Amino acid sequence: MGRKRLHESTDGRPTVHTVAARAGVSIASASRVLNGIGGSEETIRKVRAAAAEVGYVPNAIARSLQSQRTGLVALAVEDIGNPVYVSMMRAIEAVVAASGRQLLVHATGGQIANETSLLRRLANRYVDGMIVSPIRVTDDHLAAVVQSPVPVVVVGQLGADAPVDNVRTDSRQGVALAVDHLVATGRRRIGFVNGPLDTVPGAARDAGFRSALAGHGIVLDERLVEVGDFQYSAGRAAAERLLARARPDALVCANDLIAVGALHALLAAGRRVPEDVAVVGMDDTELA
């Protein structure tokens, strides 16, 4: 009494031995079928029937250790509430699911230490691959990516010589298109509400804005430039600071969350949009 029955694990669950005994095949044959490697039609039929009869459930941890695959792909973004990241997650999840894997999502808060630690921990065979979208890129990021034992793709702007698989958008060109449109509609006092300048998108979009104005022969009034964060509340506060000292006839906003914040700041200040002040955002999310 008190001894576990033959072919059961220590916690009483049926094992591959249980299935093999019920199916009347060798343990090796049962293992091949249960791991999807194959076998004769008769063996596959017997093993699958036996597994269903005894209630066999594969041990995912043991299988991942044996195959060096977890079936997980990690996605790390700054803020999972940002609509642009929501759209990104939906698109990535569809591709990941089609490959038979699952998506693991992590919010980093844009913290460099958080992102580099995550890269090193999750890439240590906890996932089969990683997609990371840092808004700040440092040498530590690049070192963690290059040294990763699993594939890593970075979504965001990197240096041209970075030895990293990279998907990016041309922020400078995006801002230039916005300025071109506003100038074409007759706007000349064009303001800019940006995110932090120490971020990759913030720096690129600031440079693009300044270059675009110069290309149209417009001298930039620094009072028309305000920096906040890539969030609705910060965008609204930044727009309020700008409006307190200047009267733009248009605002370019570094993302759609900032644009919505600026829209509400303008309406609260009694400014009509777009009659008094035109507003342009970036990212083309559903908010737009």
> Taking a C-beta distance cutoff of 8 angstroms, is the pair 8, 15 a contact?
yes
Let me know if the fold of 67-167 is the same as that of 171-280: yes
How high is the pLDDT of residue 251?
98
CA-to-CA dists, residue 138 to 109, 113, 135, 148, 184, angstroms: 16, 10, 10, 16, 38
Confidence of residue 61 (pLDDT cuts 50, 70, 90): very low
d(CA 27, CA 11): 20
pTM: 0.71
Q: What is the mean pLDDT of residues 179-187?
A: 97
How high is the pLDDT of residue 280?
97
pLDDT(55) > 80: yes
Greater confidence (84 vs 6) lies with 84
Domain 171-280's class? alpha beta
d(CA 140, CA 142): 5
Q: What is the mean pLDDT of residues 27-46?
A: 82
> Taking a C-beta distance cutoff of 8 angstroms, is the pair 246, 271 a contact?
no
Nearest of 144, 101, 140 to residue 124 by alpha carbon: 144
How high is the pLDDT of residue 273?
97
For domain 67-167, which CATH number applies: 1.10.3720.10, 3.40.50.150, 3.40.50.2300, 3.40.50.10470?
3.40.50.2300
Q: What is the mean pLDDT of residues 176-204?
A: 96
- Do you find a cis peptide bond into 151, omega within 30 degrees of 0? no
Greater confidence (2 vs 233) lies with 233
Kindly state the DSSP code that residue 218 receives in the 8-state scheme. P
How high is the pLDDT of residue 65?
44
Longest dimension (CA), the chain: 92
CA-to-CA dists, residue 72 to 64, 95, 102, 239, 273, angstroms: 10, 12, 5, 41, 46
Lowest mean pLDDT among 95-99, 106-110, 235-239: 106-110
> Taking a C-beta distance cutoff of 8 angstroms, is the pair 76, 141 a contact?
no
Q: What is the mean pLDDT of residues 79-95?
A: 91
> Taking a C-beta distance cutoff of 8 angstroms, is the pair 255, 281 a contact?
yes
Average pLDDT, the chain: 86
Nearest of 101, 113, 108 to residue 144 by alpha carbon: 113
Helix, strand or coil for residue 188?
coil
pLDDT(148) > 70: yes
How high is the pLDDT of residue 3?
39
Helices 41-54 and 16-23, axial angle in degrees (round to 10): 120
* CA angle in degrees (0–180, nearest 5) for 9-15-17: 110
Domain 1-58's class? mainly alpha
How high is the pLDDT of residue 124?
61
Segments making up each domain of the chain, as ranges: 1-58, 67-167, 171-280
d(CA 57, CA 177): 56
